[in-house]
Structure formats: structure tokens, C-alpha cells
Amino acid sequence: MRSYPPRALLAEVRILERFNSLSVFVEDATKHNYYKELITRLMDHQVTIRKVFPCNGRLGVIRAAGDQRFNRFKHKIFIVDGDLYLLCGERQAPPSNVLVLDKYCVENYFICLDAAYELAVECECTLSQGQVARRLALRTWLRDTTRVLAPLFIWYAVAHDLNASIKTVSISGLRFLENGKDVVSMELVKKRIDEIKNSLERVYGSREVKKRLNRILRMSKKHSDKTNSISGKSYLMPLLWKRLASRSSFKDEHGMTMRLVRRCNLSGAQHIKEAIDACLVGSSSLSPVT
């Protein structure tokens, strides 16, 4: 899906208004079908979405939400990822009509282990369901993966909070797998944490880095499920695919996320439904996640 400059975006929304009972504005052009399917399921197919509108990133969504020219469209919702702001906090609170996801990104809502298990079972011709379940051990895998990656994302948040030019979530989670395995290496993660820590301390000083770290550690305690603070797009989804591909006959790397969107349990996404309900009855004010 292409993204457009603000003027072209406004024209496209106007053209497609008669086909969309809800206009949805998001950050990323690649998430069109994810949001379309997610929202359609959440709303029990009571809304029509022909196209979701990408806005060239988080700031693009926020700018569109504050653009008075979009006020003429009655039913609309502006959505941004929770991102590293879940851990380090917002530099400036988004407008009240922007929905901030309470997970790192929309892909986090699709990390549904029961649905992933079903995908693996469908691909097996000889193994029993019990054998597949024992091979995958998905709950143990997710628990261990989260435990190892959570400290890394704390340090990613420290770097983000300092506005440091350090690669963070642009690195795929597959980079941290133990050689030839589907398990995240604690050693590789620790090595990356040390690299980030040393780099930040050289630039900002150990005292400032420690102050930011302690503040983010305090904020992280608000999140009981640490999985929500880890990128689903670049970490959890690729790692889940690797787990399925290594231990079952499931190999659909490119289709896995979309197949999970259509099967996942949506109980964790009810706040999105509530925000859409408010938009459909005419309320334009949403409460950002803090």
C-alpha cells in the first residue's frame, strides 16, 4: 500500500468516504489488511472498510488528527502504536482524538498461542495434536522469550528516551537466536545490552544514563505482561514463525501474521472496539494510554 502527502491523503479520504463507514488512519502502509481484518472482526462485520489510510509514521497520524480539514469526516479514528513510549513515556501527549495502542504495535494483538498451535496442527499429516503441542511448547517458549528480551527493550527505551542514534527495533529478533536453534540467546542479548549501555555512557555519561534507566524501570512495573512492551512486528512474530517452522511442518513465513489475524482471540483488543464505538456515536475524544 502506498502512503501519500497530506493534501493527497485528504483527497483520497474524500473519494473513498462513500465506501468506508469508518475512516481509519494508521502509521504504516504495510498494516492495511491487518487493521482492516482486526477492526472488521472486532465490530462483528458491522463496519465497512475498503481502505485503511497510512500517514507516513506516528507524527503523520498525529498531524492528520490535528488537521481541521479532516473534521468534515464524521466517523474516523486515528491510531498509533504504543512503541517504546510504553516504557519511556511520551515526550508530548498525543491529541485526545488519537488512540494509542496499549501494546507495542498492532502485531502484538495477534500473538495468540492457541491460533498459532492450530496453524501448526493443520500442516501435520502424521503427528497427533498432543505430539505437536509437546514439540512446540509455545507457552514455555513465550515465557522464556519474554524473560530474555524484556531487559533489551528496557535499554532500547533508554536509547529512545535519550534520542540516541542507535539501532534498536530495526534489528530483527532473529539476530538473537542461538546458532541453528529457535531459542533466543541470553548471551547475545546481554552482549547487545552491553554495547548499548557503553555507547550511551560514552555520549551522555553514566550518571545521566543511570537516571534514565531507573525512571524507565519504574515505569516498566506498570506493565504486568512484559510481552506487550516487546515489538511484535520485528521480534515476536519472526521468532514465532521460526519456532513453528523449526518444530512443525508450518512454513508460511509471509502469510502467518495474516492467518493469525483471522484466528486470534480478540479479548485483549477490546479497548480498540470501545474507541471505535465512541467514534461511531460521534464522540471524537479518546483517552491516550499513559
Q: What is the pLDDT of residues 116-143, one digit of tens each?
A: 999 999 999 899 999 999 999 999 999 9
154: exposed, middle or buried (C-beta count within 10 Å: 0-12, 13-18, 19+)? buried
- List the Cα angle 53/236/89 in 5-degree steps: 65
- Residue 72: pLDDT band by 50, 70, 90 thresholds? confident
For 258-276, the pLDDT digits (tens) are 999 999 999 999 999 999 9
- Residue 288: pLDDT band by 50, 70, 90 thresholds? very low
CA 165 to chain centre: 21
Q: Are 276 and 22 in contact (CB under 8 A)?
A: yes
Cell reading at 180: 541453528
DSSP for 244-284 reads HHHHSS---TTTHHHHHHTTS--GGGHHHHHHHHHHHTT--
How high does pLDDT run on average in the chain? 92
68: exposed, middle or buried (C-beta count within 10 Å: 0-12, 13-18, 19+)? exposed
Q: Greater confidence, 155 or 15?
A: 155
Q: The whole model's pTM is what?
A: 0.91
Q: Is residue 18 pLDDT above 90, yes or no?
A: no
* Beta strand residue intervals within 66-203, DSSP E: 76-80, 98-100
* 173-181: average pLDDT: 91
What was the pLDDT predicted at 11?
Answer: 86
Cell reading at 26: 494508521
Q: Is residue 169 pLDDT above 90, yes or no?
A: no
